[in-house]
């Protein structure tokens, strides 16, 4: 199978690809991440501004210096993806001490995605949880992996995405998809399907990715009926401890 690729922070205007892909137990793991529609900045440049300040650390307590983060649109994520637009509103890096100033747009629900080499973090609706200002210490966790077959859909599947995040995977001839590095959290699988020549997003089941878990068999099995939303056949949640 042809590999998908997963990168860390993706600079704007192009996708940063890794040189190799990792086959794993019948599922090709990899993945990529979409580009940002905001401006890249470092934590040090933003620490003097107002807003949400974070201090990011690894699981062992060491500062997570120079790691990438993304602010992702939450409310209109599906609409933006369906229009072929980026849902990444802003992105940057922590400074040498693991600190950053998050530029979360006022009045919008946004998710936070942080990706280091072996650990990551994904948080839903950060402004709803934290308010408009303040400081938080965030601890990264070991990545999990996620893969599965695409059994039935309404059209030819071009991509699989994790709703509300920047994670995406292309689809091989299997057809199958895979992510080798996913920050722990609960995600909803979304396929981008080519139906009558139009790229159409379809929402599928939720999956729970635990720290360090290799999640196999997260198969996508749903159908469309007369243009209605997909009928869910797969379980509503799959959890790996």
- 136 and 149 inside one domain: no
Asked, for residue 7, whether it belongs to a domain, the answer is no
- 40 and 136 inside one domain: yes
The reported pLDDT for the residue numbered 55 is 96
- 128 and 163 inside one domain: no
- 121 and 26 inside one domain: no
The reported pLDDT for the residue numbered 133 is 67
Asked, for residue 13, whether it belongs to a domain, the answer is no
Asked if 201 and 36 count as a contact pair (C-beta separation under 8 A), the reply is no
The reported pLDDT for the residue numbered 32 is 57
Give the residue numbers spanning the domain of 59. Answer: 34-142
Domain boundary, last residue among 123, 142, 161: 142
Name residues of the chain where pLDDT drops below 50.
1-29, 35-50, 223-241
Q: What is the count of structural domains for the chain?
A: 2
Helix (H, G, I), strand (E, B) or coil at 170: strand
- 198 and 130 inside one domain: no
- 224 and 183 inside one domain: yes
- 111 and 173 inside one domain: no
DSSP state of 130: H
- 132 and 40 inside one domain: yes
Q: Which helix (H) or strand (E) element contains residue 231?
A: strand 231-232
Domain boundary, last residue among 127, 142, 157: 142
Transcribe 174-222 into DSSP letters. Answer: SSEEEEEEE-SEEEEEEEEEEETTEEEEEEEEEEEE-TT-EE----EEE
**pLDDT tens digits along 20-69:** 233 333 344 456 556 444 444 444 443 334 468 999 999 999 999 999 99
The CATH number of residue 162's host domain is 2.60.40.1120
β-strands 52-57, 99-102 pairing: antiparallel
The reported pLDDT for the residue numbered 36 is 44
- 110 and 125 inside one domain: yes
Domain boundary, last residue among 83, 108, 142: 142
Q: Rounded to an integer, what distance in angstroms lies between the CA atom of residue 228 and that of residue 158?
A: 20
Asked, for residue 17, whether it belongs to a domain, the answer is no
Asked, for residue 184, whether it belongs to a domain, the answer is yes
- 171 and 124 inside one domain: no
Residues whose CB is less than 8 angstroms from the CB of residue 114 and which lie 6 or more positions away in sequence, other chains included: 56, 64, 67, 68, 69, 70, 120, 121, 122, 138, 140, 183
């Amino acid at each position: 199978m042809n590999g998908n690729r997963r990168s860390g922070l993706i600079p704007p205007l192009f996708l940063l690809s890794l040189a190799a892909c990792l086959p794993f137990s019948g599922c090709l793991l990899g993945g990529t991440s979409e580009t940002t529609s905001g401006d890249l900045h470092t934590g040090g440049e933003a620490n003097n501004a107002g807003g949400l300040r974070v201090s990011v650390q690894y699981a062992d307590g060491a500062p997570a210096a120079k790691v990438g983060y993304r602010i992702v649109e939450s409310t209109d994520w599906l609409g933006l993806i369906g229009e072929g637009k980026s849902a990444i509103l802003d992105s940057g890096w922590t400074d040498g001490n693991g600190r950053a100033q998050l530029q979360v747009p006022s009045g919008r629900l946004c998710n936070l995605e942080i990706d280091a080499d072996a650990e990551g973090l994904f948080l839903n609706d950060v402004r709803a949880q934290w308010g408009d200002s303040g400081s938080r210490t965030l601890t990264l966790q070991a990545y999990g992996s996620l893969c599965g077959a695409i059994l039935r859909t309404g059209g030819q599947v071009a991509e699989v995405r994790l709703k509300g995040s920047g994670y995406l995977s292309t689809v091989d001839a299997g057809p199958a998809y895979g992510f080798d590095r996913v920050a722990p959290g609960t995600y909803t699988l979304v396929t981008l399907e080519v139906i009558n020549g139009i790229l159409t997003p379809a929402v599928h089941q939720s999956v729970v990715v635990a720290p360090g878990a290799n999640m196999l068999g997260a198969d996508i099995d749903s159908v469309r009926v007369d243009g209605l939303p997909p009928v869910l056949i797969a379980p509503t949640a799959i959890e790996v401890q």
